[in-house]
Structure 1
Amino acid sequence: MSNKLTISEKVGFSLGDMAGNFVYQSVVLLLAFYYTDVYGLDAATVTAIFLFVRIFDAITDPVMGIIVDRNQSRWGKYRPFLLFLCVPYALASVLVFTVPDLSLEGKTIYAYVTYAVLMMLFTATNIPYFALGSVMTACPNERVSLNSYRFVAATGGGLIVTAGVIPLADYLGGGDKALGYQQAMMVMAVLSVVLFVICVGSTKERIKPVNSGSKDFKTDIKRVFGNDQWRLLGFAVFIMVTAQTVKATTGVYYLTYYAENAAAMVSLFLSLWMIGGMLGSALANKVTQLMCKKQAWVILCLVSAVLSAVTYVIPAGQLVMIMAVQFFVGFFNQMMAPLIFSTMAEVTDYGELEQKRRLDGLISSFTLFALKVGLAIGGALATYLLAVYGYQSGGVAQSAKTIDGILLTFTIVPAFGFVLTAAILHRMKLTAEVVKDNAERLQLIRSESA
């Protein structure tokens, strides 16, 4: 199969996701805790912000997908978006982690606006980035390898966030947490811009679509939802990300209020998750060489469910066991990430064959839509359950009922989501044989039309 990628191009591409994850992982892992315990909002308000902003942002994804699919410039279809929007994206991340001198009502409005702007810029950079990975190579194994590099770097970005942002905020703030978080995010923002620029300069768009169908945007949207394999992929991504976000959002609360004498170990706890994830991402390509990608994804979901459920029975004082399980949760959970996005490219191939039109941008945008709705529902569900169980913001001691609720939300709720994801994926028909056949058919069509 053609389009063998160099290591330097894989590394360069992967740095784009590291750049994005300096912000994304800060939002997933730290923003809820920041809003309740630093910014000063109650859990119910944070729930409303997460739900409204993330769903509103998700609705903009198809619009961005349409824009991306119709763009063409001398720099390509996708790379210009990364180059010209990386600075606004970085600035917005700093504004989100800035506490304004306003009333509680003013701070709430500020949180809505700045978070909404950040998530819209996340859309405007990530949809082109997702699509870029689909057009760099037509080889299925190279796509998994490319996404393995990508998620090693992405998890590395998350590791820098988990290991660095909280200690950096403590150091830079000098006792002022609000100032510390703002300045720590300034550092992340500068690094993000540098890595996005390297990504743009290191990559090349190779796959040229062979399209004969209508380019009407309504017809294109119908094509996406008419693609039965995308419907399954989108639903699986939604459920899986919901489960992952519930777990990620409540991780800080779990260690702070459930585990005994562990409040000072939050950075280590989150870092082990990320280190395990880096190793899992790196080995994803090896796993898909041993078994069908679909089968591997189902197994990984079930293993993640078991590990999450097992955490429920670990005693609060068993810190070594808690940390060890956290490492393996990250390992198996993040191993799924390269499979998602290489499968997305294969779903696009399938759609091109069946519908005579290639829609990298729109498939990417609707997949990101599913991801963001999962992020919205997962974040809102986590903070909603905290509120239901009586969580009190401001770093105060929590009741036994609240601590039990934190434990349940961190363990059993995500486990159920992972099992449901496995059931959905089991219905997909993109086995290794089907994917290989589709790639060969498309290669033949392109060679005949050249």
Structure 2
Amino acid sequence: MNIKQSEKFSYGLGDFASNGLFLFVSSYLMYYFSDVVCLDLTVISRILIAGRIVDAVASLLMGFVVDRTRSPMGRCRPYLLCGIWPVSVLFVLLFGMPELSASLRGFYGGTLYVAFCLVYAVMNVPFSTLMSLMTADAGERVQFNKYKCLGSNIGGVFVTGTTMLFVTHLAGNQRQGFLRTTMLFAVLFTVFMLICFFNTKERIRPDGPENNPDIRKAMSSLKQNKPWLLYCAIQFCQLTFMMIRQEATVYYAKYYLGRTELSSALLTFTPIAAVLSAFLMPYAKSKWGARTCVLFGNGLSLMSILCTALCRQNWLGNLIFCLLSALGFSIGTGLVFVILTDTIDYGERLTGQRPQGIMTSILSFVQKMGMAVSGIICTQILSFAGYVPDAAPTGAVMTAIQVIFLLIPGVLALAGVVLAWVYPLRD
């Protein structure tokens, strides 16, 4: 099957929008709440936990919804069209907190973040499932995955590389700067998701009972799918790793390295590395296999974190090894939806069941629970250490930042290595 490049490009634009929204919120919301609108860290922790649990549960439920959806537009594409509008509006409102009392600021931030997470899940789970329904050709799936990774991470580079620049230059203060920046980004993300909706096509439309899958049979089949179970565990480690690093980066650059301006570079490394690795992943998969890529990527991240710790406050060494760590993460996660589709195919061969929406949503649920865990870890450790925004960091705060940015991600990378080592599927 020969699918037009324009469709693959459009699918990539969809992930530019989806990941751009995700990365903006995951990278800057905690900082916006703590240092811009001055919410208490305990309140921030509760907001992040509540939103991410809602996101996780909604992601889980959306898998069942997708598998039972039947429309002329397909199973997944209707949710792209209906979801991008409220997601973009809530995105702007989230970073447009008005002048309120402390209690109302917490209520406003919590309500908007929970609503954003809920609607984002309604849009993003179908988007993630879409690739398994666009083609059954393994080669074409790798190509779709390449464009998905490119779009996702070019969007990430754009967000992390320009956000603070826009925030600084679009207004005289960060509060107004964040609002105007999100308004600009929301328009761009909406346009790109609409392009994805209009230019993609679902070609796999299972007939018969799969349109209304038996939930008990589907769940029973998942228990037998060892590769999928292991990959869910790997993704939990990788997403927790990524979120902790993202949330701690601004604090690490500002307080530990003493160079706030480095935060943009550090945040940009992951999407830049992913763009570079996207061109290599099709060759790497065909040459060494997906399992080896995941194993190598986690191993590279682990070694790079160890070297970063040895560099201490040497900013150049930190940049070099953080870039290598980002490259390791990108290699380890660069084939996520290809591997997911492989486990879906494996499960169908093993049990005759193909609940792709449920499998995607449970994987997404596991990822979101990792994100929820990261929010708890970051806020609680900083709070326990006595962190005060813009105050000179104490020794306890400096240690806490190192634990969040280096020690915990190192443990998660090691767990990823072990899990990838026992992952059974080979190409």
TM range (shorter): over 0.9
- The residue number in structure 1 matching 2:409 is 414
Residues 32-51 of structure 1 aligned to structure 2 (within 5 Å): 32-51=30-49
C-alpha deviations, 1:288-323, integer Å up to 9, x for none?
12102112211111111111121111131x222222
Deviation of 1:210 (Å): 6.0
- The residue number in structure 2 matching 1:397 is 392
Are residue 302 (structure 1) and residue 299 (structure 2) matched?
yes
- The residue number in structure 2 matching 1:311 is 308
- The residue number in structure 2 matching 1:424 is 419
Instruction: Give SS of 2:367's match.
Output: helix
- The residue number in structure 1 matching 2:91 is 93
- The residue number in structure 1 matching 2:111 is 113
Deviation of 1:226 (Å): 4.1
- Structure 2 Cα separation of the partners of residues 132 and 418 of structure 1: 29
Deviation of 1:191 (Å): 0.6
Are residue 269 (structure 1) and residue 266 (structure 2) matched?
yes
Runs of 4+ deviating beyond 6 Å: none
Deviation of 1:270 (Å): 2.0
- Structure 2 Cα separation of the partners of residues 223 and 102 of structure 1: 51
- The residue number in structure 2 matching 1:346 is 342
Could you say if the C-alpha distance between residues 95 and 225 of structure 1 is closer, same or farther in structure 2, counting changes exceeding 3 Å?
farther
- Structure 1 Cα separation of the partners of residues 387 and 245 of structure 2: 16
Deviation of 1:365 (Å): 0.7
Deviation of 1:212 (Å): 5.3
- The residue number in structure 2 matching 1:81 is 79
- TM-score norm. by structure 2 comes to 0.95
Please tell me the residue identity of whatever aligns with 2:283.
K
Residues 47-446 of structure 1 aligned to structure 2 (within 5 Å): 47-174=45-172, 176-209=173-206, 215-260=213-258, 262-316=259-313, 318-393=314-389, 395-432=390-427
Instruction: Give SS of 2:170's match.
Output: helix
Instruction: Give SS of 1:75's match.
Output: coil
- The residue number in structure 2 matching 1:10 is 8
Q: Determine if contact 2:245/2:409 at 8 Å carries over to the other structure.
A: yes
Larger displacement relative to structure 2 (63-72 or 209-218): 209-218
Deviation of 1:208 (Å): 2.9
C-alpha deviations, 1:238-262, integer Å up to 9, x for none?
12111121111111111111114x1
- Structure 1 Cα separation of the partners of residues 67 and 243 of structure 2: 29
- Structure 1 Cα separation of the partners of residues 121 and 270 of structure 2: 25
Larger displacement relative to structure 2 (208-217 or 224-233): 208-217
Q: Determine if contact 2:296/2:332 at 8 Å carries over to the other structure.
A: no
Could you say if the C-alpha distance between residues 217 and 400 of structure 1 is closer, same or farther in structure 2, counting changes exceeding 3 Å?
same
C-alpha deviations, 1:11-53, integer Å up to 9, x for none?
1111111101221001221111111101211222222221222
Q: Determine if contact 2:60/2:364 at 8 Å carries over to the other structure.
A: no
Q: Determine if contact 1:349/1:358 at 8 Å carries over to the other structure.
A: yes
C-alpha deviations, 1:172-228, integer Å up to 9, x for none?
221x21111011001111111100011112211112336657723344334334432
- Structure 2 Cα separation of the partners of residues 101 and 209 of structure 1: 52
- Structure 1 Cα separation of the partners of residues 174 and 144 of structure 2: 38
Please tell me the residue identity of whatever aligns with 1:131.
T
Could you say if the C-alpha distance between residues 210 and 430 of structure 1 is closer, same or farther in structure 2, counting changes exceeding 3 Å?
farther
- The residue number in structure 2 matching 1:438 is none
- Structure 1 Cα separation of the partners of residues 293 and 130 of structure 2: 25
Deviation of 1:406 (Å): 0.6
Please tell me the residue identity of whatever aligns with 1:164.
T
- Structure 1 Cα separation of the partners of residues 274 and 391 of structure 2: 32
Could you say if the C-alpha distance between residues 239 and 425 of structure 1 is closer, same or farther in structure 2, counting changes exceeding 3 Å?
same
- Structure 1 Cα separation of the partners of residues 224 and 117 of structure 2: 28
- Structure 2 Cα separation of the partners of residues 418 and 385 of structure 1: 20
- Structure 1 Cα separation of the partners of residues 94 and 45 of structure 2: 16
Could you say if the C-alpha distance between residues 279 and 386 of structure 1 is closer, same or farther in structure 2, counting changes exceeding 3 Å?
same
Deviation of 1:377 (Å): 0.6
- TM-score norm. by structure 1 comes to 0.90
- Structure 1 Cα separation of the partners of residues 336 and 144 of structure 2: 12
- Structure 2 Cα separation of the partners of residues 34 and 283 of structure 1: 36
Can you give the 5+ residue segments of structure 1 that lack an aligned partner in the other structure?
433-450
C-alpha deviations, 1:247-290, integer Å up to 9, x for none?
11111111111114x11232233223332222123322221121
Instruction: Give SS of 1:322's match.
Output: helix
Deviation of 1:111 (Å): 1.2
State the identity %.
27
- Structure 2 Cα separation of the partners of residues 206 and 52 of structure 1: 37
Q: Determine if contact 2:12/2:147 at 8 Å carries over to the other structure.
A: yes
Deviation of 1:144 (Å): 2.6
Can you give the 5+ residue segments of structure 2 that lack an aligned partner in the other structure?
none
Instruction: Give SS of 1:173's match.
Output: coil
C-alpha deviations, 1:146-175, integer Å up to 9, x for none?
21221121111111111111111111221x
RMSD of the alignment, in Å? 1.7
